[in-house]
Structures are given as C-alpha cells and as structure tokens.
C-alpha cells in the first residue's frame, strides 16, 4: 500500500529539495561552493561529515580572531570550546564560524548527575597534565566529549566540545575539498 501525503504539509521535504538550516548563509559567505554543487548537494555532503554525532545542526562560534583551525583548549588551560545554536555577532567577536560538531557522548541537562558531572567537566586542566600533553601529545580520557545545555546568552542551546578534531569548519579548505570529492562521487 502506498503512503499518501499532503504536499502542503510544511514538515515534508522532498529529498532533492532538502537544505540544512544555515547552508544559505554559508553559500553567501563562500560563493565558490556554488561552483562545486547545489545547496541540496552540500546539505547531503554535510550529513556525511560526522554521521554518528548527536548534533546534526550547523552551530556557531564567535571570536575576535580570524583563524583556519581551532586550537586545542588544553594548550591554554581550558577544558572546552564553546558554540551556540545561533550566530552571536558582536557579543564575542565579529568573526562568526559556522561549524559541524562531532558529539557522540555529550553531557546533557537531563542527566541526573548533571551538576556534579558539569563541575568535573569544566574544571581547568591539571597543569602537570597540560605540561605532559605538550611533551607527549596524549589526550586524557574523559567521560563526556562535550555538553549540550540551555544557553544563558541567547535562549537557545549552548554546546561545547573538548578538542578541535570534533570541529568541522564550513567553508574551510578542508570543507571545500571534501565537498569537491563528495560531488565527484555523486
């Protein structure tokens, strides 16, 4: 039996028309993406970047600095890198980075031990460990690879990750090359 659907339903997307929220802005900022493929193809490509992540949406990081790669927060004695559900231009810097995150085991507010676990998650790293990291490059093992919680800044979600390998910057050289390779397969 065939399923019927009402094409006026706002929640129904034809597969070839699906565009992830935020892709329009990425295409405006990086017009070279249009020369590679459509917004729909880019959306399909983005779904392959971190396929097992609990966060599928594009999220944002604001900074006063321009950079091509996030640095390890441990190198500055921090425990995580912060992102928001909405671009926060001006509040934390005028450089807005649109990214995908690889969060497979995040600490969330529905965890019964959330408060206790959050304190452990956010504790600045032990200086002895930080010095050892510079010598060995070995990362510690943590119970959670990030957090998802309500934001105190914008009313949306606040998301953190522990290391730069969990971040894919949209419009970066790596992203553009990945989209080119994905388009060649298609």
What is the model's pLDDT at position 2? 29
Instruction: Quote the crossing angle between the two packed helices 39-49 and 173-185, to the nearest 10°.
Output: 110
- Between strands 167-169 and 95-101, the pairing is antiparallel
How much is the mean pLDDT over the chain? 82
pLDDT of 9 strictly over 70: no
Residues 123-139 as b/e (b if ≥16 CB within 10 A, e otherwise) read eebeeeebeebeeeeee
The better pLDDT of the pair 1, 149 is held by 149
pTM for the model stands at: 0.79
Other CB atoms within a 10 A radius of the CB of residue 97 amount to 20
Q: Please state the rounded mean pLDDT for residues 54-82.
A: 87
Q: Name the more confident of 117 and 186.
A: 117
Q: Regarding predicted confidence, which is higher, 154 or 63?
A: 63
| Token pair recorded at residue 107 | 């600490």
Residue 154, C-beta contacts closer than 8 angstroms, at least 6 positions apart: 84, 85, 86, 88
- In the three-class reduction of DSSP (H, G, I as helix; E, B as strand; rest coil), residue 155 is classed as coil
Can you give the pLDDT at residue 128? 53
More confident residue, 86 or 3: 86
Span 90-140, pLDDT tens digits: 778 889 999 999 999 998 999 888 887 877 666 655 555 555 555 665 555
pLDDT of 1 > 50? The answer is no
Strands 95-101 and 81-84: unpaired
41 or 10, higher pLDDT: 41
Instruction: Tell me what percent of the residues of the chain surpass a pLDDT of 70.
Output: 78
């Amino acid at each position: 039996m065939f399923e019927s659907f009402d094409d006026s339903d706002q929640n129904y997307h034809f597969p070839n028309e699906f565009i992830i929220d935020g892709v329009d802005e990425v295409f405006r900022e990086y017009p070279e993406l249009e020369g590679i493929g459509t917004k729909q193809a880019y959306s399909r490509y983005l779904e392959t970047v971190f396929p097992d992540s609990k966060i599928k949406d594009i999220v944002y990081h604001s900074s006063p600095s321009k950079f091509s790669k996030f640095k390890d927060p441990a190198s500055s004695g921090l425990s995580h890198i912060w992102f928001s559900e909405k671009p926060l231009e001006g509040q934390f810097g005028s450089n807005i980075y649109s990214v995908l995150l690889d969060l497979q085991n995040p600490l969330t507010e529905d965890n019964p031990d959330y408060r206790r676990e959050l304190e452990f998650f956010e504790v600045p790293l032990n200086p002895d460990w930080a010095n050892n990291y510079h010598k060995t490059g070995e990362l510690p093992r943590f119970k959670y690879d990030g957090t998802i919680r309500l934001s105190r800044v914008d009313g949306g979600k606040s998301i953190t990750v522990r290391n730069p390998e969990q971040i894919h910057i949209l419009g970066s050289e790596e992203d553009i090359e990945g989209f080119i390779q994905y388009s060649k397969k298609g």
